[in-house]
């Protein structure tokens, strides 16, 4: 009720009280036929009416006080409504669809690099533009997010207009709670640690080069680092162990063309299970394993079951970065008799000695052998390297730019060993 209504009721009660007093005073001038009892009854009725009106005024005032915050929130001043628009509740949609939803947020990041390489592949000396990695997310609601990551592979161009565009990830992500989350689309397989911890942009990782086992498929890598399908992940109730799981099902990309052989494209079914622990008692420590299985065609006439098991132990905290991963890959040809096995590992350590300097070193090893149609010679044609030693230093020029120097020595199965060197300027925007 408005303030005018409350004032009217107060005036009515005051008028009734004055009328009662006036009637009592008029009693002496009233006709003699009216008895004193009738006068008393009239006065009492007027007093009761005044009490009733006072109670009604009090109740209306209390109701007005309780409604005041809601009314004030529902009709804020125009200036405040434009500057401080509160976000709607997770379960209640925005009342005015013309207004932008405060829960929708767009984020964009870019990564690029350029540098000079000497004998990184054993014989080439060149300046290189590197890759341009574009990463964007759009929050669609309180639980849904769209993610797109594109890689412009300028380092792979043979001609000026020959720039490959690679859809690295394209996902619709559902974030329910800590224990159940879903990614649908093209994702990075949770195979080991490095592949998902350090995405495509060179600025994200400490070194210039990635561990050889995590070379991307389109650059000759033999591990299935990408897939299209569904990925479910979350925490496992485990107390201080702080266990997490990742369960994936989809189709993997085909085998890398390291040996230069003609490939038979196929849409391969794939499954992967990863479990890892981030103990609460040791911040920065992560221990985990993954088991991956798929069917792929490395060459026309080959249908191969592939199984990859990986374990990792990493510690990244403060100035220290200590990465260790081991791998076993097994191949079983379903078309003709033949099997192949690869055993490998890498270990990388880095330590920030000052606010901007971070030297690092890494050692890698892989032994590949086989029988039948996938004999040792064929297996090593696909995985030619054996041992790699890498060392370098990263210098952070700014929070968004890093200069890196790196040297390495690689020992291969099929050619003499060689020494490589590289310098890279990587940045994010």
- The pTM for the full model equals 0.72
Structure confidence at residue 275 (pLDDT): 98
Poorest-confidence range of 46-50, 253-257, 291-295, 319-323? 253-257
Q: Give the C-alpha separation, 344 to 366, whole Å.
A: 4
**Bridge partners, residue 293, by sequence:** 271, 307
Which token pair is 160?
Answer: 């000026």
In this predicted model, what pLDDT tens digit does every residue of 119-158 receive, in sequence order? 766 667 888 888 899 999 999 999 999 999 999 987 655 5
Q: Which two tokens stand for residue 155?
A: 């380092």
Q: With bands split at pLDDT 50, 70 and 90, how would you rate the model's confidence at 17?
A: low
In the prediction, which pLDDT does 251 show? 85
Read off the pLDDT band of 161 (50, 70, 90): low
Q: How far apart are CA 200 and CA 151, in angstroms?
A: 8
- So what's the pLDDT on residue 77? 37
Kindly tell me if the per-residue pLDDT of 260 is higher than 60: no
Whether residue 361 has pLDDT greater than 50: yes
Q: Where are the alpha helices (DSSP H) in 242-375?
A: none
How much is the pLDDT for 373?
Answer: 79
Does the pLDDT at position 222 exceed 90?
A: no
Please say if the pLDDT value at position 264 is more than 50: no
Q: What's the pLDDT score for residue 254?
A: 54
CA distances in angstroms from 270 to 225, 230, 297, listed in the order given: 11, 11, 13
């Amino acid at each position: 009720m408005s303030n005018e209504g409350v004032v009217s009721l107060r005036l009515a009660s005051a008028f009734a009280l004055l009328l009662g007093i006036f009637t009592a005073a008029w009693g002496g001038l009233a006709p003699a036929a009216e008895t004193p009892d009738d006068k008393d009854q009239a006065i009492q009725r007027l007093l009761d009416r005044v009490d009733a009106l006072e109670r009604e005024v009090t109740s209306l005032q209390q109701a007005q006080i309780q409604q005041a915050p809601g009314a004030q929130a529902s009709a804020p001043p125009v200036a405040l409504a434009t500057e401080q628009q509160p976000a709607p509740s997770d379960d209640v949609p925005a009342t005015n669809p013309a207004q932008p939803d405060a829960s929708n947020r767009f984020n964009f990041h870019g990564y690029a690099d350029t540098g000079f390489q000497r004998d990184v592949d054993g014989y080439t000396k060149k300046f290189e533009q590197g890759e341009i990695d574009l990463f964007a997310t759009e929050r669609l609601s309180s639980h849904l997010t769209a993610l797109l990551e594109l890689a412009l592979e300028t380092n792979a161009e043979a001609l000026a207009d020959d720039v490959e565009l690679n859809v690295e990830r394209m996902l619709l992500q559902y974030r329910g709670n800590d224990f159940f989350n879903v990614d649908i689309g093209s994702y990075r397989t949770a195979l080991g640690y490095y592949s998902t911890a350090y995405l495509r942009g060179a600025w994200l990782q400490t070194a210039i080069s990635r561990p050889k086992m995590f070379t991307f498929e389109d650059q000759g890598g033999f591990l299935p680092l990408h897939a299209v399908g569904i990925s479910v992940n979350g925490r496992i109730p485990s107390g201080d162990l702080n266990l997490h799981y990742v369960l994936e099902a989809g189709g993997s990309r085909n085998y890398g063309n390291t040996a230069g052989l003609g490939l038979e494209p196929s849409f391969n079914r794939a499954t992967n299970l990863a479990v890892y622990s981030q103990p609460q008692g040791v911040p920065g420590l992560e221990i985990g394993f993954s088991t991956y299985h798929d069917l792929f065609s490395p060459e026309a006439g080959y249908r191969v079951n592939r199984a990859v098991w990986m374990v990792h132990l990493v510690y990244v905290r403060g100035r220290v970065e200590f990465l260790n991963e081991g791998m076993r890959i097994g191949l079983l040809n379903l078309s003709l008799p033949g099997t192949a096995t690869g055993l490998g590992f890498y270990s990388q350590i880095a330590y920030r000695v000052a606010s901007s300097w971070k030297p690092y070193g890494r050692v890698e090893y892989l032994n590949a052998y086989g029988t039948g149609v996938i004999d040792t010679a064929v297996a090593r044609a696909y995985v030619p390297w054996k041992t790699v030693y890498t060392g370098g230093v990263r210098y952070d020029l700014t929070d968004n730019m890093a200069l890196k120097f790196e040297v390495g020595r690689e020992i291969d199965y099929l050619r003499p060993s060689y020494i490589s060197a590289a310098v890279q300027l990587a940045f994010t925007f």
